[in-house]
Chains A and B, each alone.
Chain A
């Protein structure tokens, strides 16, 4: 196994083009579990920790740019937490402090788990994923980026630069069901945003995190519509019928929070 540690984005893209088999590793909270448990033996790891261009966040023409290396702990800090409150709430439910100090938004996108906690808040805020390779850059709306459970549209020479997010300072919230507050993979998760229309996005209730939209006049029927948009399965964490039920209840509560 080789470890490649680029010191700049340009170097990182060149290395990824030369070694398309290299698995990107940033916070390691997903990749290291695979290595520790002998589930994966990639030919190479591309360590992105030293690529400064991927870190941090900034405001850009009314939207917010989140570098793929932004950690959950950073997403919880003001003033970013005030700009994107649902993402901050979601970040606070990820793992424990140790995980939040390492896990990144880009990692959540790269893993593309149906349970990725950052994905519902990003969906309701109209996130667009910026991807790059030596061939150039492209922007993919988040609903088109995740194409299946743990599958995304990244080509083998591409890296995630970050996401551009709208809906800042709008009424939005995040909720998650699990057996305890910390260290939980969502049984079901939900982000809701009220800002000109109603938007909800759920996780762990279908093969991919999914966005549902309706007009402001549809407040009463919205919880049912969100539940019906889900295609959950029975698994070790919960049943399909419980997940649908929880989504309906959570949507109602989230709307109550956002409509005060």
Chain B
């Protein structure tokens, strides 16, 4: 089936299988591999995207459900060739090791800071509780979130 949706501000169309996830459609049909495919059950957060401005796991959205809706992926955060403040902070803080969880954490952090400019450590912990990182132990990720919050 064919779906029409908006991805990162651009209208686009994709031919999808009826049972496939939005994540599969983004990665395999629309050439946007930034959202990562890991657990496929909403446990790891590495496929986090914004659906009509709400943080969701793209693996748990049926591609057909995105018809007529607005998606923002990690590829859509940078503007005019400049990284998003959250991306800059992740680089500056060394919050990236293997990098697999990074796109999801960046999108989740951008979502947090869009709603809460002065997050407490508990706010950060709760906002990122749906994103797993197996490398960093989270300390530098927290540094990056605090740094990004301070820069906004």
Specify which chain A residues have a CB less than 8 angstroms from the CB of B111 in the assembled complex: 97
A28 and B23 CA atoms in complex are apart in Å by 13
Specify which chain B residues have a CB less than 8 angstroms from the CB of A33 in the assembled complex: 40-42, 60
Specify which chain A residues have a CB less than 8 angstroms from the CB of B102 in the assembled complex: none
Q: Are B60 and A96 in contact (CB under 8 A)?
A: no
Q: Are A99 and B65 in contact (CB under 8 A)?
A: no
Beyond A47-B64, A47-B65, whether A101 also contacts B21 by CB under 8 A is no
Q: Are A49 and B65 in contact (CB under 8 A)?
A: yes
Beyond A3-B64, A32-B61, whether A96 also contacts B130 by CB under 8 A is yes
Specify which chain B residues have a CB less than 8 angstroms from the CB of A73 in the assembled complex: 54
A182 and B62 CA atoms in complex are apart in Å by 24
Specify which chain B residues have a CB less than 8 angstroms from the CB of A29 in the assembled complex: 42, 60
Shortest distance between the CB of A104 and any CB in chain B (Å): 12
Q: Are B21 and A182 in contact (CB under 8 A)?
A: no
Tell me which residues from 1 to 40 in chain A have a Cβ below 8 Å from any Cβ of chain B: 1-3, 5, 25, 27-29, 31-33, 35-37
Q: Are B19 and A98 in contact (CB under 8 A)?
A: no
Tell me which residues from 30 to 83 in chain B have a Cβ below 8 Å from any Cβ of chain A: 40-43, 45, 48, 54-57, 59-62, 64-65, 67
Q: A28-B61, A45-B18, A73-B54 are in contact. List 18 more A-B contacts (CB 8 A).
A: A1-B18, A3-B18, A5-B64, A5-B65, A25-B62, A28-B60, A28-B62, A29-B60, A31-B62, A35-B21, A35-B62, A36-B59, A49-B65, A95-B42, A98-B56, A101-B55, A182-B130, A183-B130
Q: 23 A-B contacts, Cβ less than 8 Å apart?
A: A3-B64, A5-B65, A25-B62, A28-B60, A28-B62, A32-B42, A32-B59, A33-B42, A35-B21, A36-B40, A36-B59, A45-B19, A45-B64, A47-B65, A95-B42, A96-B130, A96-B131, A99-B57, A99-B60, A101-B55, A102-B61, A182-B126, A183-B129
The 8 closest A-B pairs by CB, nearest first: A96-B130, A182-B129, A36-B40, A1-B18, A3-B64, A32-B60, A33-B41, A98-B57
Which B residues contact A (CB, under 8 angstroms)?
A: 1, 17-19, 21, 40-43, 45, 48, 54-57, 59-62, 64-65, 67, 108, 111, 126-127, 129-131
